[in-house]
Chains A and B, each alone.
Chain A
Amino acid sequence: MTDTLATAAAYEKADQLPDDVRAPLRELILALADSKRVLGLRYSDRMLGSPTLEAGIAASSMAQDEWGHARLTYALLGDFGDDPKALEHERDAAEYRSMNALDAELDGWHGMTAAGLLLDMALTAQYAALAESRYTPLRNRVQKLLDEEKFHFQYAASWARRIAQVPELRAGLAAALERALPQALQWLGRDEAPGARRMVDEGVVRDLPSDRRARFLARVAPVLEEIGLADPLGVSRDAGEWTYTGRLDWAGWDDATRRAGGSLDEVTAARARGDKNRALLMD
């Protein structure tokens, strides 16, 4: 953030934001909220059949955390003129803007570990870019959420280290990480996306998607290197900077939804909406 921006007045309400910032910021918040909600579901699927009882309990806790983060994030959209309750409980599957990588269930504990290490941390990298936002309602929620995410990272990194040491499990982990990594990197978006640079200029988001990718890699790549999978996954270090040498395919990519087609299935959306619990919903 520049010195000028650091002293600039905060945006206390969404309607104070310039139009070309407000619209992309709303898209970003919705994509974050939907991704958190579906990630929580995917974690919850691993509560049973986990490697240990404690791991199942941890999956439950992480699912709960993600739903807490989703709740805080959806609630922000009321300031943008949306009805957060309708967004949470009344949309069809095709309207969800959750990560493509979360459309399918996680592939066992390998998938759980890859999601924790890569997908969750991509979301965290995006939230971190909002921690000093000039848009006050958002900034006020992010730090607590980031504090909680530190535990998810530690947990996923610990499982990655443990699984990588078991010869018969190592290949499964490598495959899950290989699937998740490009999707995590891509979800962080394009610098050329409408509003991406304006949000940075206005001090609403800290940096551009490419910078965010670098921050994400700086966090996860040391773990990948430690378990001997950085190189096979196309992650290398050059002059202290971690880079991804693979190719991100932007064909069909929608900057607003942060998706490349496809959609969440209706069964998962029904769970995300809480259809079976509708009678228990509270304000």
Chain B
Amino acid sequence: MSVQRSAFIFAWILLLPAVLYVLAIVAYPLVDTFILSFTDASLKKTTNWVGWVNYEKIFNERFAEVIIRTFIWTFFSVALKMVIGTFGACMLNAAVPGRSLFRLLTMPPWIVPMAIGIFMWGWMYNGQFGMISGLLQRFGLVDGPVAFLAYGSTAFWATIITDVWIGVPLVTIYFLAAIQSIPKDLYEAAWTDGAGRWYRFRRITLPLMVPAIITMSMLSLIATFNSFDIIWILTQGGPSGETTTMIIDTYQTAIGSKKYGEGAARAVLICIFLSLFCFAYFRVTRRLNPEKRA
């Protein structure tokens, strides 16, 4: 047996357990979702093939509105993560005493189980007694208590802010690493030429961060699009559906109302969007580092 061949076999022995596991628990359910989406599966014993009915239903109902809302929700959440992450990374990159402590202090939202952080936000948003409403009143910015989760427009933004809060630590650390990998001599050259700090940031730091920002916004886009826990714990999609995103709606249809077939059709639609994002992600990352494969 040649060396090449033995290496090939060994590599596959190493890969096989992980590959088989993912095939069984992710790929098989994916196929199952697709098949289910053409049936009227529910709690009933019998299941019939119904063709495109579930898909037609999706577009006849309020789902178009849900899709648009999902994209707006995702867009603002990702944009805010990028802006706050860039700001945080620049601040934490500054050579001031205590910075390693400050870097450590950005981690908690990422480390703590998501649900716990969300419970804390739930209290912060509490209209009668929460901190945000309380402080706004104390400083005379609002007249009475503001129940953020009780009204569609404020609940929409409240869920976005919480999503941003959970995503910011990872974005910040990633951007910090990106800033630190910028060659120091660029700054030195600019400095020698008399460029000020703001000018150096605008002309060196920011342009060289662009690949990191693009990569991270793609990854963040996918995570945010899939976001379930935050909305579910804070509002369950309410009030009157104003925070219902595609994931929430799919969950309500499939698990809440036990309409498996209709839920599956929604899930397939989500998968199509996610595949498009993946495709875009691969294209973008390949363009950003053309010398590397995959």
Are A and B a genuine interacting pair, yes or no? no
**Chain B interface (Cβ within 8 Å of chain A)?**
none
